[in-house]
């Protein structure tokens, strides 16, 4: 992996991690177009650069993270389902991660769902994610488990779950951002632990690539989150649904035309 490729992947991660468009799908297209070959470090890189995007949420919503203990208890409640199912279904998840076709189909189906969420829950009134009840937080956590299917998008699943629990578009998106912090931190920690348990090490050049990817992802994610909240509050999710369908169809077209795509 070159420095330029690390920068581009950081941009892709920062732009897509918190939008309901599937960062995995975009990583497939981006890495394939750049000819990046998957190896142990590349797999580590694509997970570890999530630390930068996690930090962007903490920085943007700094006061919310130090508001009350209930805030953390609700995040833990919502995180529990993913932690449980992640352990129980780890082998199946790894198997699905080898299938770009699964990602493409999930993108299209998820896009179709996003075309209708605004009308389905147009009368939601809870505009403050801090007011969410514990059972609702747990239910959103169950929706997050759907994102274990590559291409579903963790953000899309949790936002839809939030709206199903009567949160407005803005509140559902914000709770999705908050829930990303423990979820992505846990995923990154596990990936790092597995990497070292398997006897791998990170060279000084690779540490530099990780630093670059995280810094780029951090900056881009801040811009993406601010823009996303403003956009979705005004216009809803239909545009993201259309976009997902287009990206999914592009991946399917590439696969059907004989291109070899890989999930890094």
Q: Is 0.95 topped by the overall pTM? A: no
pLDDT in tens, 130-162: 888 999 999 999 999 998 888 888 999 999 999
Where do the domains of the chain lie?
3-61+69-256
Per the CB < 8 A criterion, the answer to whether 25 and 234 are in contact is no
pLDDT value, residue 65: 82
Please answer whether residues 132 and 90 qualify as being in contact, where contact means their C-beta atoms are separated by less than 8 angstroms.
no
For residue 257, the model assigns a pLDDT of 85
Task: Tell me the two tokens of residue 55.
Answer: 């930090």
Q: What angle do CA 81, 183, 242 make, to 5 degrees?
A: 90
219 band by pLDDT with thresholds 50, 70 and 90: very high
Question: Three-state SS string across 96-139, please?
Answer: HCCCHHHHHHHHHHHHHHHCCHHHHCCCCCECCHHHCCHHHHHH
**Which positions ≥6 away from 195 have C-beta within 8 Å?**
40, 44, 202
So what's the pLDDT on residue 103? 85
For all residues of the chain together, what is the average pLDDT? 87
State percent of the chain over pLDDT 70. 94
Mean pLDDT confidence for 75-83 = 92
User: What are 116's two structure tokens?
Assistant: 């209708």
């Amino acid at each position: 992996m070159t420095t330029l490729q690390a920068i581009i992947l950081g941009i892709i991660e920062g732009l897509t991690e918190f939008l309901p468009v599937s960062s995995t799908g975009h990583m497939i297209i981006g890495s394939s177009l750049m000819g990046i070959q998957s190896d142990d470090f590349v797999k580590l890189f694509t997970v570890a650069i999530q630390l930068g995007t996690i930090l962007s949420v903490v920085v943007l919503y700094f006061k919310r993270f130090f508001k009350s203990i209930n805030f953390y208890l609700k995040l833990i409640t919502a995180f529990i389902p993913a932690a449980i199912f992640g352990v129980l279904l780890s082998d199946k998840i790894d198997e699905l991660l080898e299938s770009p076709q699964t990602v493409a189909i999930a993108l299209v189906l998820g896009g179709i769902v996003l075309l209708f969420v605004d009308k389905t829950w147009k009368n939601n009134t809870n505009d403050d994610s801090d007011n969410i009840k514990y059972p609702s937080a747990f239910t959103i956590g169950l929706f997050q488990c759907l994102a274990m299917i590559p291409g579903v998008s963790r953000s899309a699943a949790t936002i839809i779950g939030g709206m199903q629990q009567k949160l407005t578009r803005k509140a559902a998106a914000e709770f999705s951002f908050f829930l990303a912090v423990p979820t992505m931190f846990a995923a990154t920690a596990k990936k790092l632990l597995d990497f070292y348990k398997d006897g791998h090490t990170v060279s000084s050049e690779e540490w530099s690539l990780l630093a670059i990817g995280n810094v780029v992802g951090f900056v881009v994610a801040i811009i993406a989150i601010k823009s996303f909240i403003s956009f979705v509050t005004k216009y809803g999710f239909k545009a993201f649904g259309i976009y997902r369908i287009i990206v999914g169809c592009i991946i399917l077209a590439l696969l059907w035309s004989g291109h070899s795509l890989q999930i890094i």
